[in-house]
């Protein structure tokens, strides 16, 4: 029975993919069981995932005749792969609809990834492309080497990485870890007990909960840091800036100078949240809710000139160089991973194609 079913599925996929092949289009629908995962890899183009209340996965693809899309299904996984008939595939746009509960793993090389209203765990990676995700629960892991990442309306353990690109997270619940080398990081409407944010070259803005006994760390080498402190928050914090200013729009209860950084207290010290703010070349600002949206560069300058809480703290600073090394290593890991995956597959094809093409020209000119 299972063998017959698998045969029927394979035949169905072949027939549906064959329809419209002359135009390079395909439309495939596969029934799935609860708990199945979606696994997609697309070399170049788009991966767009929608959700519905059916226990089916529908894969619609648009591409040239040089490429094809293979869809395979088992009881646990639906796999979608773009393939080149000769050499790497051309641009392939995938439009996929899955059950709301479905977990997914999406990856690509030159690929933009969009996920709408997801309800399961999400893993999305792109070497060169933007990632936009709405929804998701459980573990949410988004990574792009060269591209921006946007995440909203999610709940779970959140990890977002980019080497070159801005990162924006809104309406999120759960512990958050965010890292980028060259890009701004913006986090709005965040409900988290633990937040770790690092960028080498970019600004950081955080507006969310700061809970008792929580841990919140924000560090940038070249950029400003703005953190919104809700009224009634209890914070025990440290701040460091080598070439910048510290500005709070409200009184700080306690501020003490140490050798390498400043320490401060807001509210009561017992069970206070731990807040660490570090920037080598940038300003650090603490704001009340509703004040961040009003800030513009000119407005900030006026506040620095006129606010009684404004101070210029220049002191010894030790930026954690291991952060830079870790982020650089992330880029190297991506390069190694995709080199192993694609280089063996296409190197021989390119060698055969171009060696023949240019060997004649070389002999003719010599």
What residues make up the domain containing 50?
A: 1-165
Tens digit of each residue's pLDDT (9 = 90 or more) over 31-80: 999 999 999 999 999 999 999 999 999 999 999 888 899 999 999 999 99
For CA atoms 128, 171, 177, 155, the dihedral sign is negative
215: in domain? yes
Number of domains in the chain: 3
| Mean pLDDT estimate for the chain | 80
Whether 350 and 272 share a structural domain: no
Tens digit of each residue's pLDDT (9 = 90 or more) over 296-352: 434 333 333 334 343 333 333 344 455 445 555 555 555 555 455 444 544 443 444
The confidence band for 88, taking pLDDT boundaries of 50, 70 and 90, is confident
Per the CB < 8 A criterion, the answer to whether 220 and 320 are in contact is no
Whether 187 and 293 share a structural domain: yes
Whether 221 and 83 share a structural domain: no
- CA-nearest of 54, 16, 12, 9 to 33 is 54
- The pTM assigned to this predicted structure is 0.76
Q: What are phi and psi of 299, to 5 degrees?
A: -65, -40
Whether 354 and 314 share a structural domain: no
Which residues, at least 6 apart from 137, have a Cβ–Cβ distance to it below 8 Å?
Answer: 119, 120, 121, 154, 155, 156
Per the CB < 8 A criterion, the answer to whether 315 and 257 are in contact is yes
Whether 220 and 346 share a structural domain: no
Whether 236 and 151 share a structural domain: no
């Amino acid at each position: 029975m299972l063998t017959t079913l698998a045969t029927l599925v394979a035949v169905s996929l072949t027939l549906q993919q064959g329809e419209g092949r002359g135009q390079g289009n395909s439309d495939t629908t596969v029934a799935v069981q609860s708990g199945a995962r979606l696994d997609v890899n697309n070399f170049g183009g788009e991966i767009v995932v929608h959700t519905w209340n059916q226990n089916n996965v529908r894969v619609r693809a648009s591409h040239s005749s040089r490429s094809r899309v293979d869809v395979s299904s088992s009881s646990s996984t639906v796999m979608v792969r773009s393939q080149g008939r000769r050499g790497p595939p051309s641009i392939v746009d995938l439009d996929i609809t899955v059950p709301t509960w479905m977990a997914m793993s999406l990856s690509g090389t030159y690929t933009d990834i969009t996920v709408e209203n997801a309800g399961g765990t999400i893993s999305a990676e792109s070497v060169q492309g933007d990632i936009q995700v709405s929804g998701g629960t459980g573990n949410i892991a988004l990574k792009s080497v060269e591209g921006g990442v946007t995440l909203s309306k999610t709940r779970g353990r959140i990890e977002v990485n980019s080497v070159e690109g801005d990162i924006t997270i809104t309406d999120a619940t759960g512990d958050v870890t965010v890292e980028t080398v060259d890009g701004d990081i913006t986090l709005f409407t965040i409900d988290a007990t633990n937040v770790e944010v690092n960028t080498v070259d970019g600004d950081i803005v955080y507006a969310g909960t700061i809970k008792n006994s929580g841990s919140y760390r924000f560090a940038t080498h070249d950029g400003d840091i703005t953190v919104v402190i809700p009224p009634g928050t209890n914070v025990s914090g440290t701040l460091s800036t080598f070439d910048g200013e510290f500005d709070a729009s409200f009184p700080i209860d306690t501020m003490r100078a140490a050798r390498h950084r400043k320490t401060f207290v807001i509210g009561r010290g017992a069970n206070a949240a731990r807040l660490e703010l570090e920037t080598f070349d940038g300003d650090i600002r603490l704001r009340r809710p509703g004040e961040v949206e009003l800030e513009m560069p000119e407005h900030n300058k006026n506040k620095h000139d006129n606010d009684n809480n404004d101070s210029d703290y220049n002191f010894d600073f030790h930026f954690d160089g291991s952060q830079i090394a870790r982020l650089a290593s992330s880029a190297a890991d991506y390069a190694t991973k995709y080199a192993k995956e694609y280089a063996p597959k296409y190197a021989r094809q390119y060698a055969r194609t171009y060696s023949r093409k240019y060997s004649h020209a070389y002999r003719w000119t010599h």
